[in-house]
Chain A
Amino acid sequence: MGEHTRRDERSASEGISLDADVLVIGGGPAGTWAAISAANEGARVVLVDKGFCGTSGATAAAGTGVWYIDPAADKREAAMAGREKMGGYLQDRRWMARVLDRTYEQSNQLAGWGYPYPTDTDGRPQRNSLQGPEYMRLMRKRTKAAGVTILDQSPALELLVDDAGAVAGAAGVQRQDGKPWRVRAGAVVIATGGCAFLSKTLGSNVLTGDGYLMAAELGAELTSMEFSNPYAISTAFGSVTKTLFFGWGTFTHQDGSLVPGAASKGGRSAIARALLKGPVYAQLDKADADVREAMRASQPNFFLPFDRTGIDPFTQRFPVTLRLEGTIRGTGGLRIVDDHCATTVPGLYAAGDAATRELVCGGFTGGGSHNAAWAMSSGFWSGQGAARYVKGRRSARGSATGAGTVGLQHGSRAALNGADLAAAVQAEAFPYEINYFREAGRLTASLDRLDTLWHDATRAGAAPHRDIVRARQSAAMLATVRWMYRSALARTETRGMHRRDDFPEQDATQRHYITTGGLDEVWTSIRPHADAYLAEAAE
C-alpha cells in the first residue's frame, strides 16, 4: 500500500512530496544507523541519498577498520590513552568511553544480522574490520526492513525552516528524472559525510560538504575545521587510497634514491615535500609472503590498480600521489551540543563525518577505525534523539520555507557555473603549500581569493536546472574551505594534523576548540576543552 502511494506520487508531474517524523540526509553508515534507530523509536522515517544507499560514500567503496575494543577495563583504558597525544589532547574521555560502548553494541548487532565476520586462528570472532560493499549492502537491507522509505539518486538542495527557526524538512531533486522532491519532517539528521573536494580519494566524490552548507544556512555552527588536511597515499594514476598498506613500503625519487623521512605513518609530509619537486615512487618491499597473502584476502580493492595494469607492487616501483581527504579523515564538522548529537539548530542533528569527531579523535584520526566507530555511535544516537524530539512536540505543522542561498537564489549576474567554481575551489584546497603546510601569509592570500569567489557566487543567478546539483556542491565546497582556513588562521600553533610552518610547536595555552560559522562573513571563536571547565568547576 505504502509502495503504491509512493509510486503514484513519483509519477505526479510536480515530483515527490512526503511527510515524515524524521528525515535522514545521506545513506552511508551514519545515515543508515540513524534511520534504523529512529524507526526503532516508532518514527516514520525517510532517508534520501545523493547516489544509492549501499554504494554511496567512502565506506562502501573503501571498507574500514572499526574501533572495536574488548570491554575489559585495561583494554579500554589503553585504547583511549593510546590516542591522546596524536589527537593533540583534544579528545573527551567521557565521549570516547561511550563511543567504545556503543560501537561494541552495534558491531555485535551486525554479527546478529549475519555480517560475515572472520575468526582468527583460535576461532575467536574478529570485529575490528568491515568490508565496505558487504557492510553497506547489509545496512541497506536492514534500513528497508526497519520500514524506512529510501529515495536514491535524490540529492538534497536545501533545508526547510519553520517560522520559529526550527528545521522542518528538506527539498531536492531526483536527478535521474529531473523532478523535485520535498520531505516535511519534524527533525532532520545530517549524515552527508565530510568534504574531500572531488579529489577522487576512494568513494568520496559524493562527499562535497553539502550538509555543512545546508545546516549553516540555518545558522548551525561548525567546529575543529582546522583539522581538515589529511592526504592519503594512492597510485599516481588510480583512486584506491589505502594508506595502511604503505606501511610496508619504501619511497624513492625518480633516480631510485630514498626519500628521506618518508613513511605512511609519521612521514607523509616528507612525501608531500618530495612531490612538490618531482615524482615519488613506492614499492611494498617490506611485506613478507604471509603479509602479502593477508593483504590480498583483506582488501581486494587495493590490488585492482595493480592487477589491472600488470604491476606487482611488492617487486616493482610505481608512482604515487597524495589525495586530499579533507574533513572525511579530518575531525571537523557540525558542532554537536548534547549526547544525542543535536546541533545548535532546533530539530537538526548531525552524525558521522558530517559531525565533528573532535570528541573521540581530537585533532587527528589515524584511519577509518575511529570514524567508523563514530558513524555507528553518532548514527544510533542522532536517530534516537531526532525521533524523541519529534515525539515531544506533536504540534500542528506550520509553514516551511526553503533556506537555501547560493546557487538557488536569483541574482543579477550570469548563472553560477558549478564546474568552474569547483575547479577554482580545488586550486585553493589541494595544494600542499597552502593546506598541508600552513602559514599565515599563504592562508590569508587564499582566503582573499576564496572570499571573492563567495562574493561573486552570492551575486550569480540561480544555476540552470541541469547544473543545480553541481552548483550547490561547489558552493558547499567553497563554504567548507573558507571555514577550514579561517579556523587554521585562528590556531596559531601545530597540533594534531594541523601544522603551521610559522608556529611549528604545540602551545599548551591553545588546548581548546575553535568554533566557526557564517556564510558571507565567516567568524571563529574559542571554546574551552572539557577538562578546563571541569577544573574550573572544581575550584
Chain B
Amino acid sequence: MIEVIDSETCTSCNICVRVCPTNVFDKTDGFPVIARQEDCQTCFMCELYCPEDSLYVSPFAETSVSLHATELKDADGLGSYRRAVGWTKDTKDRRGIDRSHELFGH
C-alpha cells in the first residue's frame, strides 16, 4: 500500500491525486494526503507517475507498515520502479528491452 509522500521533494503537483485508479489521495492546500489507504490496491502506478520520485508503495497489500522517506532514500528505494521501466531520463533505453518473447511457451 502507499505509505510515503516525501515532503522534502513533493512539489504538490497533485499528479498522484489525478492518476490513482482507486482515488486514494486527496488534494489539500499543501501536500497531497493519503486519505483512503484502505482503498489502495498496491498497483504502484502513483509511484510510476510521480515526476519527483516522492512516493513509495510498500509491497504489503493488506497491512500497513511504518516507513520513512530518509531510510528509503538511503536504500535507493524511491523511484526504483520508475527507473526499472525506463521512465527516467537516464534509463530510457529500458523501455524497449522486454524479453517476454523468450519466456513465453515455457
Contact = CB atoms under 8 A, between A and B. Distances in A.
Interface of A: 50-52, 54-57, 60-61, 65, 116-118, 120, 126, 128-129, 131, 133-134, 152-153, 175-176, 200, 202-206, 235, 237-240, 244-245, 247-248, 291, 293-295, 297-301, 303-305, 307-309, 369
B41 A65 contact: no
A200 B41 contact: yes
A120 B59 contact: no
Contact of B23 (A176, A203, A248, A305): A176
Please list the 8 inter-chain residue pairs (A to B) with the smallest Cβ-Cβ separation, ordered nearest first.
A51-B21, A129-B100, A300-B84, A239-B42, A116-B96, A205-B41, A61-B43, A305-B59
Given A60-B45, A239-B42, A294-B103, A205 B98 contact: no
Interface string B95-106: 111111111101
Contacts, number: 140
Given A128-B100, A240-B59, 10 more contacts: A118-B98, A129-B98, A133-B87, A153-B23, A176-B17, A206-B21, A237-B61, A238-B61, A300-B84, A304-B81
B85 A308 contact: no
A239 B61 contact: yes
Contacts of A152: 18
Interface in B58-81: 58-63, 77, 80-81
A301 B96 contact: no
A244 B106 contact: yes
Size bracket of the B interface:
35 or more
A52 B19 contact: yes
Contacts of B85: 131, 133-134, 300
Counting chain A CB atoms within 10 Å of each CB, the highest count among B20, B21, B99 belongs to B21
Nearest to B18: A52
Interface of B: 17-23, 27, 39, 41-45, 48-49, 57-63, 77, 80-81, 84-85, 87, 94-104, 106
Counting chain B CB atoms within 10 Å of each CB, the highest count among A235, A247, A294 belongs to A294
Contact of A131 (B98, B102, B103): B98
Contacts of B96: 116-118
A461 to B, nearest CB: 24
A50 B27 CA distance: 18
25 contacts: A51-B20, A55-B19, A55-B20, A55-B43, A55-B49, A56-B21, A118-B97, A118-B101, A129-B104, A131-B95, A153-B18, A176-B17, A202-B42, A238-B60, A238-B61, A240-B59, A245-B103, A247-B106, A291-B103, A294-B102, A297-B94, A298-B99, A300-B81, A300-B84, A307-B80
Given A118-B96, A129-B98, A307-B80, A203 B59 contact: no
A54 B18 CA distance: 11
A298 to B, nearest CB: 4
Nearest to B42: A239
Nearest to B96: A116
A206 B41 CA distance: 9
Nearest to B102: A294
Contact of A120 (B18, B19, B101): B101
Contacts of B41: 61, 200, 202-206, 239
A48 to B, nearest CB: 14
Nearest to B26: A176
